[in-house]
Structure 1
Amino acid sequence: MPAVPAKSISTGVIALLIVGGLLSTFYQIQPEEMGVVLRFGRYVRTTEPGLRAKLPLIETVIKVPVQRQLKHEFGFRTVEAGVRSQFSARQFADEAVMLTGDLNVAVVEWIVQYRVSDPIQYLFKVRNLDDTFRAMNEAVMREVVGDRTVTEVLTVGRQDIETSVQQQLQVLAGQYEMGITVEQVVLQDVNPPDPVKPSWDEVNQAQQQRDRLIDEARAEYNAIIPRACG
């Protein structure tokens, strides 16, 4: 086997170094992202979408999805998203079981949707931001649910709960400089606990039937009395 000339080896090594340097210099930021450039672990600049360059070896880039809507799920997790999404709630019941203001229990499953508004705050202001934000969500939801009756939580008060939680989360996120905008809180499912759900359904059906009978009686009254008086 013929010996490889030392010059060829040197040329190959240099070529590899050049290619490696180019690969570590240029990077791509997608349209929904912003790049946060660190030099020796310290923030130096942010970069917009497109093909960008950095100093090889001494600079690194963290890509932050500023245009993408992010979410956290509470009381359940999406196992498979699609036309017929599959959900799992058994392992996450502790997140959902809450005490209402009239000392009843409700099982509240919800989603919070948010976007990154300040990549620097999002990355560096709060340690373990995801865990902190989840704990904040649970605390706020329990406080809001605890200020309402079980009837409000399960029926007429859902939209008010969503709005109140969203507003309080945004205030806290601003105070802690999390760099996020809380866009929406959605109550995915709200129910009484399984052992009392049949009884609650019976009461709810009875109330609906009562309301229907009242409406029918009023309609009949409005139809008969004017003719009798006329």
Structure 2
Amino acid sequence: MKKDKVVDVDFSESIKNNKGKIGGLITAIIVAIIAFVIISGSFYSVEEEEQAVVVQFGKVVTTNTAGLYFKLPIIQSVYKVDMTTHGIGIGYAVDDNGQNITIDDEGIMITSDFNFVDIDFYMEYKVSDPVGYLFNSEDPEEIMKNVALAAIRSTVINYSVDEVITTGKSQIQAEVKEILAKELMNQDIGLMVTNISVQDAEPPTAEIIQAFKAVETAKQSKETKINNANKYKSEQIPAADASADAIIQAAEAAKEARIAEAEGETARFNAMYEEYKKYPLITKQRMFYEAIENVLPGAKVIITDGQTQEMLPLESFTGEESAAPKNSLANDTASAEGGNN
């Protein structure tokens, strides 16, 4: 009986010793885990395209760019923000198969001429202020999209449907981007728009789409005709200029000829006038004879003294002239010359 008691005492002491060793081992494991957690939570890394915001007791302590950093475990928290450029569709969305899905509530807008147009935009944006992005709003992307929709509607309404679909796209994009930049700065949500572009713009119904396509075809035909007309103009102008130069040169030549002729006539008149001043009567008679020769070429001129009446014979059938007229003409000429003297 004594031996059994001794064995029981030794076994209980062994159990007590083992429990002490197991408890120490568990404590060591727990301490090691806590130490590992503390040490691993004291360091963090930031990638190249990220920025980290360190917060302590609800206040921002610092922001860090790419690299490895230390923080106080448990006390400090780190929020990482993606700083790369992202894209979002306005007026449409992309499904899992990569197909565009139209969102009528966003894309259909009214124009200045009270028409409807279905217009889609693609907007590229990125985080400009990590702190504002994290803490100034609950959903900055949604706010940005609503601001973009307001800016687009307030801009499109200033243009006619024809301008929205055809010629006014670039101007609309520029105005929307400018309005967005100002509004996002006022909202202070930490986002900025890097680019916004019109993806597509068309009337909301098939019939109107067909009508606008016909209008677009007519405009292209108009441009083609204008280009052809300008081409014809550029071809014809040199020929017209050459013809005009030829006409001008001919006119200049005619002008010079007329001037020379007039100067000759003037010189001849002056010479005749000088002779007239010397012998007025003879000059008058000479001018009269020359005028008669010009008016009645080949006519026979008979001059008398105006007092003697006589019957002049007709020309003979043989072509011989009678002697009487010759003598009479000679006598009259002699008397005229004697009178002048």
Q: TM-score, normalised by structure 1?
A: 0.88
1:85-133 deviations in Å (ceiling 9; x for gaps) = 933223x221111111111111111122122222122222234222111
1:21-47 superposed Cα distances (whole Å, 9 cap, x missing partner):
223222111111111112233322212
**Unaligned residue ranges in structure 2 (runs of 5+):** 1-17, 243-341
Q: CA deviation at 1:138?
A: 0.3
2:148 to 137, 143, 164: 137
Larger RCO, structures 1/2 (Cα 8 Å, 6+ apart): 1
1:229 Cα deviation from its structure 2 partner: 4.8
Partner Cα separation in structure 1 for residue 135 and residue 26 of structure 2: 45
Confirm or deny that 1:191 pairs with 2:202.
yes
Q: Which deviates the most, 215-224 or 182-191? A: 215-224
Corresponding residue SS for 2:137: coil
| 1:89 alignment partner, SS class | strand
Residue aligning to 2:60: 43
**Distance in 1 of aligned mates of 2:163 and 2:104:** 21
Equivalent in the alignment of 2:27: 10
Give 1:14 shift.
1.4
Structure-1 separation of matches of 2:111 and 2:176: 15
Deviations 1:41-76 (A, max 9, x none): 33222122111122222322111123x112321112
Is 1:205 aligned to 2:214, yes or no?
no
Instruction: Report the Cα distance in structure 2 between the residues aligned to 1:128 and 1:120, rounded to whole angstroms.
Output: 13
Determine if contact 1:26/1:54 at 8 Å carries over to the other structure: yes
Partner of 1:87: 99
Structure with greater strand share of residues: 1
Q: Distance in 2 between matches of 1:102 and 1:19?
A: 70
Among candidates 85, 98, 104, match of residue 69 of structure 1: 85
Q: Which structure shows the bigger proportion of residues in helix conformation? A: 2
After superposition, the Cα gap between the structure-2 partners of 1:225 and 1:45, relative to the gap in structure 1 and judged at 3 Å, is closer
**Contact 1:76–1:87 under 8 Å retained in 2:** no
Residues 53, 62 of structure 2: 8 Å contact kept: yes
* Corresponding residue to 1:112 among 109, 113, 123: 123
| Alignment RMSD | 2.1
Shift of 1:225: 4.5
**TM-score, length-normalised on structure 2?**
0.61
Establish whether residue 22 from structure 1 lines up as the match of residue 39 from structure 2: yes
CA contact (8 A) 2:95 2:101 kept: no
Q: How far did residue 136 of structure 1 move?
A: 0.4
- SS in structure 2 at match of 1:205: helix
Q: Does 1:101 align with 2:117?
A: no
| Worse overlay, 46-55 or 121-130 | 121-130
Structure 2 counterpart SS, 1:5: helix
CA distance in 1, matches of 2:197, 2:62: 35
Q: Deviations over 1:122-169 (max 9, x none)?
A: 222234222111110000000000011111111111111111111111
For structure 1, the 5+ residue unaligned runs are none
1:169 match: 180
Alpha-carbon distance in structure 1 between the residues aligned to 2:30 and 2:186:
53
* Percent of residue pairs identical: 27
Q: What is the CA–CA distance in structure 1 between the aligned matches of 2:180 and 2:229, rounded to whole Å?
A: 45
CA positional deviation for 1:228: 4.5
Q: In the aligned structure 1, how far is the partner of 2:99 from the partner of 2:172?
A: 23
- Residue 182 in 1 paired to residue 199 in 2? no
